């Protein structure tokens, strides 16, 4: 991590134990610099989604501290914190009874922006995610394709001008072509707007392509974290190596088919 950048987010020895005694997250520490994208990856049930939800207090940690912009998240009002941090969830989570416009305007409305500013922001966001304002503004989610819905999901997450965006399997439900498109658009958005992001994904290829840094989790703990090239060069153990190997194996298999 470069020394000039200051961390947007820091986790120090964070744990989460559920009421039933299950430890979903054990003693995790990390630091995310401004403008960077961290991918949390690992097999299902490794605790990556729980870790993500601890950041905007959808879950409360049982130990350790989470520092956002220099202050412990527990010092924030949970609702205000969530409005400040962008949130993109698996399967879009759009409000079915809201139009595209209304969905995107949710956070600006919660932040009590005036109507003109909100309207302007909605248009701006729709252009950013490449949805025609006139054609799509008044549509309802069920009238959109999966890719369009996820674009609205991104627009909604970014409308409140967050400097940190949390994404839970944001690309997973999409077909490969759409996913590819959206991933590229997202990369562009991030460099244009300069926000930091934490992306939870079980797809190692996605993590390698998008992330500045990858943290591999197993049983609630970090097995290894580092830049994609560090991981590729020196996988810490067989688990990490196995995860990294999957996309390569697929590539080889495809190459062989091509003869």
Partner 1 sequence: MNENLAERLNELPDLLSGHVLLSLSAILVGLAISLPLGVFAAPRKRFAAAVLNIAGVIQTIPGLALLALMVPLLGGTIGYAPAFMALMLYSILPILRNTVVGLQGVEPGVVEAARGLGLTQKQRLWQIELPLALPFIVAGVRTSIVWVVGAATLATPVGAPSLGNYIFAGLQTRNWLSVVFGCLFAAGLAVVLDQLIRLLEVAARDRRKMLAVQVGALLSALVVASVLPRFVEFTPPAQPQISQQFASVRAEEGALDDEIVRLGAKAFTEQYILAELMEQVLVDAGAEVERLDNLGSIIAFDALRNNEIDAYIDYTGTIWATVMARDEPINRHAMFVEMAAYLREEHGILTLGRMGFENAYGFAMRADQAEALGIRSLADLAVHAGALEVGGDAEVFTRSEWINTRDAYGLGAISTRAMDATFMYDAVRDGQVDVISAYTTDGRIAAYDLVVLADPRGILPPYDAVILLSPEAAERPGLADALAGLVGSISDDDMREANRLADLERQTPQQAASWLYEQVTE
Position among 87, 113, 136, 186 found at the interface with partner 1 (CB under 8 A) = 87
Quick one: which of 16, 26, 48, 82 contacts partner 1 (CB under 8 A)?
Answer: 82
Min dist CB 79 to partner 1, Å, is 5
Between the alpha carbon of residue 125 and those of residues 132, 154, 198, the distances in Å are: 10, 9, 20
Site string for partner 1, 30-59 (x = CB under 8 A): --------------------------x-x-
Mention every residue, 6+ apart, whose C-beta is less than 8 A from residue 30: 9, 10, 11, 38, 215, 222, 225
Chain centroid, CA 77 distance in Å: 22
Q: Does position 205 bind partner 1 by CB under 8 A?
A: no
CB 20 within 8 A of CB 13: no
Indicate the residue among 106 and 211 with the shorter CB distance to partner 1: 106
The answer to whether 149 contacts partner 1 (rule: CB under 8 A) is no
Residue 165: name the closest of 193, 124, 145 by CA. 193
Tokens at residue 46, please? Answer: 């490794």
Told to check if 105 binds partner 1 by CB under 8 A, we report no
166-185 residues near partner 1, rule: CB under 8 A: 166
Q: Shortest gap between Cβ of 194 and partner 1 (angstroms)?
A: 21
Helix (H), strand (E) at residue 190? helix 176-193
Which stretches of the chain bind partner 1, using CB under 8 A?
Answer: 56, 58, 79-84, 87, 89-97, 106-107, 110, 156, 166
């Amino acid at each position: 991590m470069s020394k000039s950048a200051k961390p947007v987010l820091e986790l120090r020895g964070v744990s989460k134990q559920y009421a039933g005694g299950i430890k979903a997250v054990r003693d995790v520490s990390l630091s995310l610099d401004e403008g960077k994208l961290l991918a949390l990856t690992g097999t299902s049930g490794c605790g990556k989604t729980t870790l993500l939800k601890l950041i905007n207090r959808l879950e409360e940690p049982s130990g350790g501290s989470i520092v956002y912009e220099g202050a412990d998240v527990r010092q924030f009002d949970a609702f205000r914190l969530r409005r400040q941090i962008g949130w993109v969830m698996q399967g879009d989570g759009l409000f079915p009874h809201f139009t595209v416009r209304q969905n995107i305007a949710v956070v600006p409305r919660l932040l009590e922006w005036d109507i003109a500013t909100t309207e302007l922001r909605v248009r701006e966001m729709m252009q950013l995610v490449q949805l025609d304002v006139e054609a799509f503004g008044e549509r309802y989610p069920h009238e959109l394709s999966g890719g369009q819905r996820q674009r609205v999901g991104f627009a909604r997450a970014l409308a409140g001008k967050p400097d940190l965006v949390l994404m839970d399997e944001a690309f997973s439900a999409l077909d490969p072509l759409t996913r590819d498109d959206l991933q590229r658009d997202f990369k562009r958005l991030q460099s244009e707007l300069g926000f930091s992001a934490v992306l939870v994904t079980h797809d190692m290829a996605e993590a390698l392509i998008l992330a500045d840094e990858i943290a591999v989790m197993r049983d609630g703990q970090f097995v290894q974290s580092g830049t994609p090239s560090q991981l590729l060069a020196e996988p810490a153990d067989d688990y990490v190596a196995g995860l990294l190997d999957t996309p390569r194996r697929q590539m080889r298999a495809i190459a062989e088919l091509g003869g």
